[in-house]
Structure 1
Amino acid sequence: MTSILPAETQTKVKVPAQRTAAPTAGSTSRTATSGSTSPSPNSPKRLRDSRPDLILCGLLLVAIMIVQGWNIADYPALSDDEGTYLAQAWAVQEGRGLAHYTYWYDHPPLGWIQIAVLTWIPAQLAPESMTVGSMRAVMLVISAISAILVYVLGRRLSLPRWAAGLGMALFGLSPLSVVLQREIFLDNIAVMWTLLAFCLAASPSRHLWHHFGAGLAAAAAVLTKETMLLVLPAVLLTMWRHSHRDTRKFAITGAITACTLIGISYPLFALLKGELFPGEGHVSLWDGIVYQMSRPGSGFILTEGTGSYGVLQSWLYYDRILPLGGLAGALLLLVTWRWSVTARALAGPALAVAILAGMALRPGYLPAMYVLQALPFLALVLAGGTASVTHGVLRRWRSPTEKRPLTWARYVVALALAAAATAYVVPRWYDGNHTAMTFDANAPYQQAAKWLGSEVDNPADTRVLVDDALWLDLVHEGYKPGLGVIWFYKADLDPAVTKTMPRGWRDLDYVVASPTVRRDAVDLPNVKAAMENSTPVVTFGTGEDRIEIRKIQGAGGDR
């Protein structure tokens, strides 16, 4: 792989024999020394002072926001995870603690605390808008920040302007990104903090506070979604390459210290509450870790018929270009990093892709949103690989009598490559993004919420099992939060709820059989019995996506 730097920047420069003084803490170094990376001419020190960068980034951001924001409430289908995180954010807003039920250390709470902050003003202005569909709009803020950070990181890693723009477009406009970034997932917020950590680690100013800030941002990412721990080695590699040799030890030590001190706040929180280790009558962080580590695996990702294989196929259904092209680009960069300037510049993102891909290959649990953590790095390495190949081709078009490339040849080759890539990508992306911008996948949920609000007498005294995607809708319809409208898992797994159900499923009135409830009821005795002893009253939608409102036989009575 060849360098993407202009030929004139690759000539040797005579360096005075006298060594410059080591920079002090907080200083900026301009001297290229052994083992350090000097700022590239392709990477302006301050992007806000570069009008072409601002214009290109701004135009791409508008396109990304339009594609991701159009029809955001109606596609994709609401998920139980989205409802859970939003309901937990609602509990924080309402002063009900860290969750709408017993908090049991499934994830660190910083993620939905941030969601609570993002949704606070809309919830105050219109409380009924605090539902999954409506509040998906706040994820546009996260997507916008992340897209800008991808562009900034690309420029700081020496990508030319057009390649950084390509990386931003790949990250924000891929149908896979459009679908998953719309959803209220902790991973989306964690990715934003991770990208900020990378940008600070690659700062051309090399201020020590930038590296401390990178450690703080990395800690925020981990406390938002703990799986971002996997990417921290790539952040450290980027910091190592972009720090000055004479202050590198201080920078790395400061970043690790900052990250560790903030990160231990989570186990310290559990310790102060007396919930670090298992005990009688309380949840514990240790139990949460054991649960996450012992979850049944979903099989090898390349073995047909396994759960992981199904997840992979769902990713490739939306887009093959970004996942497969990014993996190929990362492999090429890692293989050629010793002799390629581009590969060395993008070593951090390439390592992140390699780590995340390696973890996906293990026969463990693989959730559908896992790919979100890899999307920005897949986009950057694919854009970097494209820039490297393009530059390598253009360098070979030289005049027989001149050492500089032929102007006409450069434009012809560049336009031919761009046209070929566009002809390949656009048709494949059009269908996915067109579906995301036009199809209504959530009409059954909306109809079910409306029916339960208008057709059920006295909702305040009715008990109904639902998945969390509908939980807040029914709270706004007048059902009692927690014990009136019940997140279906809690009917079996939360002692605070089960003790209010001495007769088990007979103490319930309705069960809303969404796809999630039907799938997981087999492992939940009360929910399974409620399904078996109920009859459909009304059904919305058809096929596997239908939602049935089922009246439980023998329900009610003295409670």
Structure 2
Amino acid sequence: MTSTLPAATGTRVPARRTPAPAARPDGRTAPARLRSSRPDLLLCGVLLAAILLVQGWNIAAYPTLSDDEGTYLAQAWAVQQGRGLAHYTYWYDHPPLGWIQIALLTWIPSALSPGAMTVGAMRAAMLPVAAVSAVLVYVLARRLALPRWAAGLAMALFGLSPLSVVLQREIFLDNLAVLWTLLAFTLAASPSRHLWHHFGAGLAAATAVLTKETMLVVLPALFVTMWRHSHRDTRKFALTGAVTACALAGFSYPLFALLKGELLPGSGHVSLWDGIVYQMTRPGSGFLLDPGSGSHGVLRSWLYYDRVLPLAGLAGAALLLVTWRWSVTARALAGPALAVAILTVLALRPNGYLPAMYVIQALPFLALVLAGAAASVVHTVLHRRRRATEKRYLTHGRYALAAVLALAAGAFVVPRWYDGDRTAVTADANAPYRAASAWLATRVDDPRGTRVLVDDALWLDLVHAGYRPGPGAIWFYKADLDPAVARTLPRGWQDVDYVVASPTVRRDAADLPTVRAAIDHSAPVAVFGTGADRIEIRRIHPAPKGAR
């Protein structure tokens, strides 16, 4: 209701209208302050404890260490050590804000125990990121007018899916970018509709893009959410402020390159333009639905861990997009549903590049739209029962229907998730890496005088074992692709003592002449693991100077 206040002139003027809280599909209103709702706090707290337990248990041993994790952690180590923005020449492959955040997250444990700055140990830094992201999913679901049970379902889907457990454990920039993206959506859907919330959403969105530039594609979905949840009287100011804040913060990256004289290509230096060209023209991995393509292999790896969240989430997004005209829930979740649609269309490019961590960006939106679709279906069924059933029988019918739906979903999902999550908390996929690290730390007499080609998953292990970062412990890509490193190897592979042939090194050696020659002119002196996942420590002929 509009109230009136006396003005200085004696006339009465209308006071500013206070926007009402968002309505749920069942007609009730969501609490404006979740922190004042004990049931919400209890449900969110219980789910958060379960998520942290499942994701944290056995985190260093599963999944297998990846070279990307090692790269981001090594770059964070370089920031901590004051060595610049990367452990080698920074070439604008990604904005540096992502691993600067990793450096902040790992600063205290690395200061207390420098030798613990390795990929397995520092995966624990991803736990607070996963925790905050899961809470934001719950808060966002409630702000998008989902009932409490559906918000809890979205949080559980996001945090307990085996696919989420595996990928959120890993030190990926995408996990940090998702946190900032969720913060942006949560601020955009704020029930109080303060202008500073929308400015904050713009800044959070820019931070997400500067953490992982691929988050740029979901910004249209963010602005749809902001449009729907802003007050009509201040909508233009809110959107203008958010776009301005996002753009000004985002332009700091090209400004940084410009001030360093590295915005455009030139002789003797890297450039932001070259980095963008590389990202836009890198070889594609084929069509997602082509069984023989690399993209299809990535899809199979996602579905190996979990079919429920990706496939049912896509179905939920489709349902919401089709019914948005007459469904309150669909309209409330228009932003997340649009984000799923955008990410799906990009993944279906005929010859696009599809990395394994791409799905991380979609996980929260898949969880939200799946929970929203479930809420929409339940509301529709209950609404029809309400019209067809006398009121005195309605309560029992609602509980019975909810119980049947919950049992059916649980019977389908729980066995599949149990197997995947049990593997995550019991399997040891990184024993070969630990054994190889221990061998290189103890079986080489002169680490500082020894040169080893190694992937970044083990690079920091060797640095802590006494190998010189750069000329001693050499990230294998750099032997062929970095002129500064190539100059330290005038005879190519003959200047190398060992090559650690991990699965990553063996896979990519075909395109790296120096690395391929090092493998061809070497013999294994230690092998850890079996099959395609084995790690071979190979000694280059002639025998290295420092070996026993």
**What is the TM-score when the length of structure 2 is the normalising length?**
0.95
The counterpart of 1:130, out of the listed 117, 139, 144, is 117
CA, structure 1 residues 512+352, in 2 after alignment: closer, same or farther (shift >3 Å)? same
CA, structure 1 residues 44+405, in 2 after alignment: closer, same or farther (shift >3 Å)? farther
Listed as ranges, the matches of 1:468-483 within 5 Å are: 468-483=456-471
Which residue of the partner structure matches residue 491 of structure 1?
Answer: 479
The counterpart of 1:449, out of the listed 418, 432, 437, is 437
8 Å CA contact 2:23–2:145 kept in 1: the answer is: no
The more displaced of 413-422 and 403-412 is 403-412
User: The residue matched to 1:63 in structure 2 has which SS?
Assistant: helix
- Quote the Cα distance in structure 2 between the aligned partners of 1:110 and 1:503: 37
Q: Report % sequence identity.
A: 75
Q: Report the Cα offset of residue 244 of structure 1.
A: 0.5
- Quote the Cα distance in structure 1 between the aligned partners of 2:218 and 2:388: 47
Does residue 84 of structure 2 align to residue 82 of structure 1? no
Which residue of the partner structure matches residue 419 of structure 2?
Answer: 431
Which residue of the partner structure matches residue 8 of structure 2?
Answer: none
Does residue 25 of structure 2 align to residue 50 of structure 1? no
User: The residue matched to 2:536 in structure 1 has which SS?
Assistant: strand
- Quote the Cα distance in structure 1 between the aligned partners of 2:466 and 2:545: 21
Which residue of the partner structure matches residue 7 of structure 2?
Answer: none
Does residue 94 of structure 2 align to residue 111 of structure 1? no
Which residue of the partner structure matches residue 267 of structure 1?
Answer: 254
Q: Report the Cα offset of residue 423 of structure 1.
A: 0.6
Q: Over aligned residue pairs, what C-alpha RMSD do you find? A: 1.9
Does residue 409 of structure 2 align to residue 409 of structure 1? no
The counterpart of 1:540, out of the listed 528, 535, 538, is 528
User: The residue matched to 2:290 in structure 1 has which SS?
Assistant: coil
Does residue 139 of structure 2 align to residue 177 of structure 1? no
8 Å CA contact 1:201–1:211 kept in 2: the answer is: yes
Does residue 409 of structure 2 align to residue 421 of structure 1? yes
Per-residue Cα deviation, 1:64-107 (whole angstroms, up to 9, x for no partner): 00000000000000000000000000000000000000000000
Q: Report the Cα offset of residue 405 of structure 1.
A: 5.9
8 Å CA contact 1:29–1:206 kept in 2: the answer is: no
Which residue of the partner structure matches residue 91 of structure 1?
Answer: 78
User: The residue matched to 1:539 in structure 2 has which SS?
Assistant: strand
Amino acid at match of 1:271: L
Q: Report the Cα offset of residue 391 of structure 1.
A: 1.8
- Quote the Cα distance in structure 2 between the aligned partners of 1:271 and 1:49: 48
- Quote the Cα distance in structure 2 between the aligned partners of 1:31 and 1:69: 40
Which residue of the partner structure matches residue 19 of structure 2?
Answer: 30
Q: Report the Cα offset of residue 43 of structure 1.
A: 1.9
Which residue of the partner structure matches residue 5 of structure 1?
Answer: none
In structure 1, stretches of 5+ residues that fail to align are: 1-13
- Quote the Cα distance in structure 1 between the aligned partners of 2:338 and 2:44: 26
The counterpart of 1:528, out of the listed 492, 511, 516, is 516
Listed as ranges, the matches of 1:276-295 within 5 Å are: 276-295=263-282
The counterpart of 1:100, out of the listed 87, 100, 113, is 87
Which residue of the partner structure matches residue 367 of structure 2?
Answer: 379
Per-residue Cα deviation, 1:153-198 (whole angstroms, up to 9, x for no partner): 0000000000000000000000000000000000000000000000
Q: Report the Cα offset of residue 555 of structure 1.
A: 5.8
Which residue of the partner structure matches residue 232 of structure 1?
Answer: 219
The counterpart of 1:553, out of the listed 527, 541, 544, is 541
Q: Report the Cα offset of residue 532 of structure 1.
A: 0.5
Which residue of the partner structure matches residue 62 of structure 1?
Answer: 49
The more displaced of 392-401 and 197-206 is 392-401
8 Å CA contact 1:326–1:382 kept in 2: the answer is: yes
Amino acid at match of 2:427: F
Per-residue Cα deviation, 1:338-357 (whole angstroms, up to 9, x for no partner): 11111000000000000000
8 Å CA contact 1:74–1:441 kept in 2: the answer is: yes
Which residue of the partner structure matches residue 9 of structure 1?
Answer: none
User: The residue matched to 1:246 in structure 2 has which SS?
Assistant: coil
The counterpart of 1:312, out of the listed 299, 302, 310, is 299
Amino acid at match of 2:528: F
8 Å CA contact 1:492–1:526 kept in 2: the answer is: yes
Q: Report the Cα offset of residue 401 of structure 1.
A: 7.4
8 Å CA contact 2:432–2:529 kept in 1: the answer is: yes
User: The residue matched to 1:536 in structure 2 has which SS?
Assistant: strand
User: The residue matched to 2:233 in structure 1 has which SS?
Assistant: helix
Q: Report the Cα offset of residue 396 of structure 1.
A: 2.8
Per-residue Cα deviation, 1:431-456 (whole angstroms, up to 9, x for no partner): 11000000000000000000000001
- Quote the Cα distance in structure 1 between the aligned partners of 2:393 and 2:201: 40
The counterpart of 1:214, out of the listed 169, 187, 201, is 201
Q: Report the Cα offset of residue 204 of structure 1.
A: 0.2
User: The residue matched to 2:385 in structure 1 has which SS?
Assistant: coil
8 Å CA contact 1:399–1:406 kept in 2: the answer is: no
Does residue 157 of structure 2 align to residue 186 of structure 1? no
- Quote the Cα distance in structure 2 between the aligned partners of 1:557 and 1:394: 77
- Quote the Cα distance in structure 2 between the aligned partners of 1:351 and 1:283: 36
Q: Report the Cα offset of residue 398 of structure 1.
A: 3.9
8 Å CA contact 1:87–1:99 kept in 2: the answer is: yes
User: The residue matched to 1:486 in structure 2 has which SS?
Assistant: strand
Does residue 448 of structure 2 align to residue 463 of structure 1? no
Q: Report the Cα offset of residue 30 of structure 1.
A: 1.9
- Quote the Cα distance in structure 2 between the aligned partners of 1:253 and 1:339: 29
CA, structure 1 residues 399+492, in 2 after alignment: closer, same or farther (shift >3 Å)? closer
The counterpart of 1:514, out of the listed 502, 527, 534, is 502
User: The residue matched to 1:95 in structure 2 has which SS?
Assistant: coil
Per-residue Cα deviation, 1:213-254 (whole angstroms, up to 9, x for no partner): 000000000000000000000000000000000100000000
8 Å CA contact 1:206–1:244 kept in 2: the answer is: yes
Which residue of the partner structure matches residue 135 of structure 2?
Answer: 148
CA, structure 1 residues 22+524, in 2 after alignment: closer, same or farther (shift >3 Å)? farther
User: The residue matched to 1:200 in structure 2 has which SS?
Assistant: helix
Which residue of the partner structure matches residue 228 of structure 2?
Answer: 241
User: The residue matched to 1:478 in structure 2 has which SS?
Assistant: coil
The more displaced of 382-391 and 400-409 is 400-409
Q: Report the Cα offset of residue 390 of structure 1.
A: 1.3
- Quote the Cα distance in structure 2 between the aligned partners of 1:391 and 1:158: 13
Per-residue Cα deviation, 1:287-338 (whole angstroms, up to 9, x for no partner): 0000011111111000111000000000001001000000001011111111
- Quote the Cα distance in structure 1 between the aligned partners of 2:507 and 2:389: 71
8 Å CA contact 2:317–2:369 kept in 1: the answer is: yes
Which residue of the partner structure matches residue 154 of structure 2?
Answer: 167
The more displaced of 192-201 and 40-49 is 40-49
In structure 2, stretches of 5+ residues that fail to align are: 4-12
User: The residue matched to 2:538 in structure 1 has which SS?
Assistant: strand
8 Å CA contact 1:508–1:552 kept in 2: the answer is: yes
User: The residue matched to 2:234 in structure 1 has which SS?
Assistant: helix
Which residue of the partner structure matches residue 195 of structure 1?
Answer: 182
- Quote the Cα distance in structure 2 between the aligned partners of 1:63 and 1:401: 39
8 Å CA contact 2:155–2:367 kept in 1: the answer is: yes
8 Å CA contact 1:506–1:555 kept in 2: the answer is: no
Amino acid at match of 2:399: Y
The counterpart of 1:339, out of the listed 323, 326, 341, is 326
